[in-house]
Amino acid sequence: MTRTVSTNPYSDQKPGTSGLRKKVPVFQQKNYAENFIQSIFDSLDGFEGQTLVIGGDGRYYNREVIQKAIKMAAANGFGRVLVGRGGILSTPAASHVIRKYKAFGGIVLSASHNPGGPTEDFGIKYNVGNGGPAPEKVTDAIFARSKTIDSYRIVDAPDVNLDAEGSHQVDDMTVTVIDPVADYAELMESLFDFDAIRKLIAGGFRVVFDAMSAVTGPYAKEIIEKRLGAPKGSVMNFIPLPDFGGHHPDPNLVHARALYETMMAPDAPDFGAASDGDGDRNLIIGKSIFVTPSDSLAMLAANAHLAPGYAKGLAGIARSMPTSGAADRVAEKLGIGIYETPTGWKFFGNLLDEGLATICGEESAGTGSNHVREKDGLWAVLLWLNILAARKESALEIARKHWATYGRNYYSRHDYEEVDSDAANSLITALRDKLAALPGTSFGALTVDTADDFSYHDPVDKSVSKNQGIRILFKGGSRVVYRLSGTGTSGATLRVYIERYEPDPARHDLDTQEALADLIAVADEIAEIKARTGRDQPSVIT
Ligand code: VG1
Ligand code: CO
């Protein structure tokens, strides 16, 4: 029985870089989740009788919102819901399930790398029929609707048992609880040479994977231990916990410190990796070498043809604007297209759908390809393993040779978290005001060549996205980029991206922060970061 419930709108349901993210108590306000879900449905057309995929990263409040979403989907006229067992679907697995079963779209419940728990973060994002995050015109419509919504629809029905596979009837709609791993694992087997990786591992190559008590645990257990034969224990922290064990499921050098130290020890395993809360990011650490995500994108693109799924070569490479230019050099050598998009995976969808790009990546440890329409953490790990198995060289050797061929893009991101929002906004405004005057100005040995606020013109649908990050490019190719995060939930996070290109192989073994020291100082001088934020140093350096 469908009920129409009257409600009052909230003014703060604007989706950010990747869906709506708020603290759990915000989501627990009366009708808060319902309003947003109904706003999604109200912004879509033609889903009557169609399939909706629902799943999440297992964080606190996941199960409650899944039950609401199922009952609301039934009341709004969907014909079928596919939901992962236990309410689990990693972001890339959800993308694959949407595509494979030709669903109308999907609701993915996640706040990705943000911590989870009763007072931590929760999130809802909507993915469209190609399996990718809703484009801006859809998220704008959802936000507009959320500001005027006055009722939502829901059926009165008992909760669905999410813990056993099988089908149930909820009013006129069928709900099927599916194995969250099976379809995804099969897709991975179709892309990579599992035999070669199995042989590598059987020969004593040691892999460790840290699932960070988040969603990739069940996927990595099945694929890395069961199908590829890595010994039990190779996958660490493999049970998804509602609070991620109290940690940030953010695979970077701060939150995955233990893995980093393991990989730098004299008796280190050969290959270490980690993924984030919802399984779409990756951290790659070879024995004695951390591979920056920007370099990883370039190295994967340069070697992808060694994996069966990419044997025919790549159509093009796409990277977000703040991501280093390392991939550009690979694209140039391969004679293929290179695309520069704003931050956030939603901008890659058109390029992938049109066949313009095959591999995409972001400096924030997201890499993926046209196999789904999301970034994919385990995919990146498996492509690395496939390349290691094919080249029979270590990650360190592969990186060294890559730099010798293409030069090295020293790269680092400095994050200033939970900065006062007004201070952060006025820092950006002041920077914007300075842009026109900067070209030609010198700071020590560095002279500004161009300075702008990045605008993206989508080559496929011709949409324009403005104000996507302040870029300051120096003569010689170094650059600094500033932008405010669109995924945080308290205060503002200022991200500063710093890059310098070094062609000389004799200078490829420098410490990254030292190699970038002059640029880091200039980045502060131009934006007055210390003075305006009151911070002496960044909260996180990656
Ligand atoms: C961050 C990253 C961005 C990524 C986004 C979502 O966004 O910088 O590259 O696409 O998170 O990733 P922002 O706006 O905070 O810089 V995830 O793994 O949170 O879905
Ligand atoms: Co994520």
Give the per-residue pLDDT at 491.
87
**Distance of alpha carbon 13 from alpha carbon 428, whole angstroms:** 23
Name the residue of 250, 275, 364 to mutate for ligand 1: max ligand atoms within 8 A of Cβ.
Answer: 364
Total residue count of the chain as it appears in this document = 542
Q: Encoding tokens for residue 116?
A: 């989870």
- Nearest residue CA, atom 17 of ligand 1? 112
Q: Are the C-beta atoms of residues 284 and 291 closer than 8 Å to each other? A: yes
| Tens-digit pLDDT profile for residues 393-443 | 999 999 999 999 999 999 999 999 999 999 999 999 999 999 999 999 999
Per-residue pLDDT at 488: 76
- In DSSP notation, 369-392 reads ETTSSS--HHHHHHHHHHHHHHHT
Amino acid at 217: G
| Ligand sitting nearest the alpha carbon of 90 | 2
Q: Which domains does the chain have, with CATH numbers?
A: 2-180 (3.40.120.10), 184-406 (3.40.120.10), 408-541 (3.30.310.50)
Q: Which ligand places an atom closest to the C-alpha of 21? A: 1
Answer for the pair 523, 483: CB distance below 8 angstroms, yes or no.
no
SS (H, E, C) 88-124: ECCHHHHHHHHHHCCCCEEEEECCCCCCCCCCCEEEE
Amino acid at 337: G
Q: Which amino acid does the sequence have at 108?
A: V
DSSP 226: I
Cβ neighbors of 182 (< 8 A, separation 6 or more) are none
Give the distance (Å) from ligand 1 centre to CA of residue 364: 7
**Pairing mode of beta strands 337-341, 316-320:** parallel
CA distance readout (Å), 530 to 204, 511, 524, 536: 49, 23, 7, 6
CA angle 531, 535, 538 (to 5 degrees): 125
Nearest CA to ligand 1 atom 10: 344
pLDDT less than 50: residues of the chain: none
Tokens standing for residue 409: 């893009």
Closest to 152 measured CA to CA, from 63, 51, 30, 66: 30
Residue written as tokens 């609701």? Answer: 107
Mutate to test the pocket of ligand 1, among 340, 343, 373 (most ligand atoms within 8 A of CB): 343
* Predicted pLDDT of residue 1: 85
pLDDT at position 293 is 96
Strands (E), 182-299: 207-210, 235-236, 271-275, 282-286, 289-291
pLDDT at 254: 87
Task: Check: CB of residue 529 under 8 Å from CB of residue 494.
Answer: yes
Total-model pTM? 0.94
- Residues 374 and 131 sit within 8 Å (Cβ to Cβ): yes
* Residue having the nearest C-alpha atom to atom 20 of ligand 1: 112
Nearby residues of 503 by Cβ (< 8 Å), 6 or more positions away = 407
Choosing from 112, 146, 296, 478, which is the catalytic residue?
Answer: 112
Pairing of strands 51-56, 289-291: unpaired
User: What is residue 490's predicted lDDT score, i.e. its pLDDT?
Assistant: 80
Rg (CA), the chain: 23
Q: What is the pLDDT of residues 232-270, one digit of tens each?
A: 999 999 999 999 999 899 998 889 999 999 999 999 999
What's the CA gap between 431 and 426, in Å, rounded? 8
Nearest to 389 by CA among 303, 330, 455: 303
Q: Tokens 């995409």 sit at which residue?
A: 360
Whether 112 is catalytic = yes
Compute the distance between CA of residue 13 and CA of residue 15 in angstroms, rounded to an integer: 6
In degrees, rounded to 5, the angle at the alpha carbon of residue 309 between the alpha carbons of residues 458 and 354 is: 20
Residue ranges lining ligand 1, Cβ < 6 Å: 17-18, 112-113, 276, 280-281, 320, 343-345, 362, 364, 366, 485-487, 495
